[in-house]
Amino acid sequence: MKQITIGLLGLGTVGSGVITILKNHQDKLIHQVGCPIHVKKILIQDIEKERRVQVDSSLFTKNVEEIIHDPEIDVVIEVMGGIEETRSILLQALESKKHIVTANKDLMAVYGPELLTKATEHGCDLFYEASVAGGIPILRSLVDGLASDRITKMMGIVNGTTNFILTKMSNNGSSYEEVLQEAQRLGYAEADPTSDVEGIDAARKMAIMSTLGFSMNINLQDVNVEGITGISEEDLNYSKRLGYTMKLIGMANRNGEKVEVSVQPTLLPDKHPLAAVQDEYNAVYVYGEAVGETMFYGPGAGSLPTATAVVSDLVGIMKNMRLGVNGRSSVSPQYEKKLKSDKEIFSKYFLRIHVKDQVGAFAKITTLFSERGVSFEKILQLPLKDEKIAEIVLVTHSASLFDYKEILLQLSDLEVIQQVKSSYRVEG
Ligand code: NAP
Ligand code: HSE
């Protein structure tokens, strides 16, 4: 091979990082893959836009056909985002026998199996390391590094934007809107940050990780999702007061043949290692039957960290090209999907309620819990400005999700309850 030729789809946060790494690490890359890497065309929307990196403007195109049907282009790097249009572009690129690198979890969480099948049919590689946890090589670790083990649990912080927001809100008392804007300015947030703050981005990543880790086809609909938009300053203050740190936690758990996958705001004991993961950083615990506990930590978003994963995938493709083994590394899921029912999912819970301050009110509440065999680990009762209402904060011992949901339903019907203000999972 004299050189490898790339078509780059997108020159935003990640695309600019890819150009920077290809330029700055050129010598190392040539040494690893044995030839220079040449970017021939770059797909963008706005030709006039100022770019973060210096690129010869003759490389720009608004016509994707110039990339996917160019016989000289070996690899298409997709860092433009989007789902339907991008799926169609990548399917055509695979039909034209282009290898693919993508950072697009939105796409892979929905159309991953279809695209991987197509890639195998056409003898192409399709790698997507950057789609989960930015610069952390977590997918390769699950598939290759832990290939000999049986993974039972994956738990972590897999969205940089929400971790950045929660860190700044908790540590500096900054407002949600202000920090979200900063995360957007720094290039951590998605084009539409709703998917970050509503937990959808993290859920897509958990679907991708659990599909690979559990070798089972887990899709977005299988993930129980709750985002961070409902978290109030009061919740953050109470969690601190009780010795917890609030994080958006992705959890994938396997017991026997059954799995549960969720993304939800969770109170972590302050001493929990994930509680110390700040700003846009991500961290994932992976538990294997043989290896025990492993932890992966690093920047979960941003231009250069994410681009590192993208370019490493490119190196993987080029090594496969030299060996003539492209399109052979994807393994289809081994197990049929079996999801746990609510009766099989257990956790502790934090609950903040406003209660009419009257004799017997608390007894009525505790009766509901004790009837379902759920006891309390912590209880706080504080007066509010309105003297007729008390604020009660409870942390339960472990309860099934089924029992806890039933209790929440019955609580809202209790005459003494003015409002259930918030409820979160508690780890530990
Ligand atoms: P971005 O900054 O918004 O950049 C997107 C780029 O794609 C822009 O250059 C844009 O062109 C181009 N583009 C978008 N739609 C297009 C279309 N229909 N036709 C032609 N060009 C189009 O996005 P990003 O943050 O780099 O993210 C890119 C992908 O990486 C997404 O899938 C994202 O989920 C994923 N990702 C991002 C991060 C991160 O930290 N940002 C981390 C991991 C994964 P113009 O510049 O002309 O507008
Ligand atoms: N918006 C994503 C995040 C980018 O904040 O984690 C990295 O996937």
> Is 277 within a domain?
yes
The predicted-structure confidence for 306-323, as pLDDT tens digits, reads as follows 999 999 999 999 999 999
Pocket lining: 81 vs ligand 1, CB cutoff 6 Å: yes
Ligand 2 center to residue 161 CA distance, Å? 6
Whether 48 lines ligand 1, by a CB cut-off of 6 Å, is no
Whether 334 is in a domain gets the answer no
* Last residue within a domain, chosen from 267, 299, 331: 299
How do residues 125-159 score in pLDDT, each as one tens digit? 999 999 999 999 999 999 999 999 999 999 999 99
Mutate to test the pocket of ligand 2, among 138, 159, 184, 194 (most ligand atoms within 8 A of CB): 159
Same domain (yes/no): 126, 144 = no
Residue 335 lies in a domain: no
Q: 180 and 92, same structural domain? A: no
Q: Is 387 exposed, middle or buried (0-12, 13-18, 19+ CB in 10 A)?
A: exposed
Q: What mean pLDDT comes out for the span 336-350?
A: 97
* Spacing, Cα 11 to ligand 1 middle (Å): 7
Same domain assignment for residues 57 and 161 = no
State the average pLDDT over residues 33-38.
95
Residues with CB under 6 A from ligand 2: 134, 159-161, 188-190, 196, 201, 300-301
pLDDT, tens digit (0-9, with 9 covering 90-100), for 379-414 = 998 777 777 898 999 999 999 999 999 999 999 899
Residue 328 forms part of a structural domain:
no
What percent of the chain is predicted at pLDDT more than 70? 100
| 361, pLDDT greater than 80 | yes
- The CA-based dihedral angle spanning residues 254, 258, 264, 269, taken in that order and rounded to the nearest 10 degrees: -40
Q: Does 282 fall in a domain? A: yes
Structural domain total, the chain: 3
| Residue span of the structural domain in which 373 resides | 343-426
Average pLDDT over residues 260-269: 98
Portion of the chain with pLDDT greater than 90, in percent: 93
Residues 295 and 159 in one domain: yes
Span 342-368, mean pLDDT?
A: 94
Q: For 54-88, what is the HEC assignment?
A: CCCHHHEECCCHHHHCCCCCCEEEECCCCCHHHHH
Residue 314 belongs to a domain: yes
- Residue 329 is assigned to a structural domain of this protein: no
The phi and psi torsions of 62 (rounded to 5 degrees) equal -105, 0
Same domain, 145 and 290: yes
* Domain of residue 349, CATH code: 3.30.70.260
Q: Which atom of ligand 1 is nearest to the CA of 17?
A: 26
Query: pTM of the entire structure?
Result: 0.96
* Mean per-residue pLDDT, 323-344: 93
